Amino acid sequence: MAIVSAKRVLLCALACGGLEGLEFGEMGDTSFGMGGAGVALENSSWGLYYNPALLDIDSRTKFGYSFGASAGQENFLEMGLQMLKGSALGNDAKSLNQLLRFHAEDMGRFIIGQSSSVTINANEGKAAQRLVEGANIIQNFLKSNGIHLSSQNGFVLQIHPRRKWEIGTFGIGVFASAFVGGSLLVNPKYNQIIIPTSIIGLPPLPPGVHAPPFIQIGASKNSLTLSQSNQRDFYNSSLLSPNAKNAAAIRGLAIGSVPFGYAYGFDFNKAGKLSVGVALRYLYTLSYGVGLAGDLQSLIPQIKGLLSNFNF
């Protein structure tokens, strides 16, 4: 049973590698000076969790409980805030009109194919700044993203029988930890934002005038550039290409254990105290994972369908 559980933990930890490695857990009182290394204090009740030899260092009968939860993300929060800003920008007609009037001539020449690109600088106003920020946030999200939740909880009881002769200290506990994470992995070969002009909905153009069939959107720290593209680049490098094989994954891991510990201390008076401890535990795990694959246009409905199966 222990071997099977260990394999499950290893496989799930490897699967969660796209987010981050599983951290060493912390329960109860720990030393700030250890930088979160997870070392129990001498008089803590949590020797059974960190090091069973600590049970008999402070040989008292003690009870402890610990509950904890944490959440982390990479570029998900920024993406959500950007969506809100995008909605606000859409309602800010004044800023948008100012930006469009400023680039009216350049955009007109670009649309009819007389100019190969148009550049919008962030210092051209509030609307321009938001557009540049949004494009950079989207690019960062496509490069790397992830979200994870974790919870670590436990109860522990330390018992030191009062006898004429020392028989050591016993401990029993119940520990439970859960980790959930998700991420979207974009094929690095297809990470360019190239879109067909047809989806923009341009007004009818004069006879003989043709808009570029594809437009590429590129962003730097301080500017946003629209440039002409072609069908070959769309199929070979666009995020929207039907050839792009992207992936989305949701993973979960629950680890529970019921440990039994024993420690005996040897008191050498001024020379100090040596304590020897041992712990046996029943370990159980439960893992869950869902992986989706496909181009972006097929992946989004799959994700929506998966989320619709959960009741929150």
Distance CA 218, CA 227 (A): 8
Give the ranges where 16-75 is alpha helix by DSSP (H). Answer: 47-50
Answer for the pair 157, 60: CB distance below 8 angstroms, yes or no: no
* pTM of model > 0.75: no
Q: What is the pLDDT of residue 5?
A: 42
Is the pLDDT assigned to residue 296 strictly greater than 90?
Answer: no
pLDDT: is 117 or 27 the higher one?
A: 117
Query: Residue 157 pairs with which residues in a beta bridge?
Result: 63, 172
The pLDDT tens digits for 237-291 are 998 888 888 888 888 999 999 999 999 988 888 787 888 999 999 999 999 888 8
Is the pLDDT assigned to residue 9 strictly greater than 50?
Answer: no
The pLDDT tens digits for 173-191 are 999 999 999 888 888 888 8
Answer for the pair 103, 211: CB distance below 8 angstroms, yes or no: no
Helix 126-143 vs helix 76-91: crossing angle, to nearest 10: 150
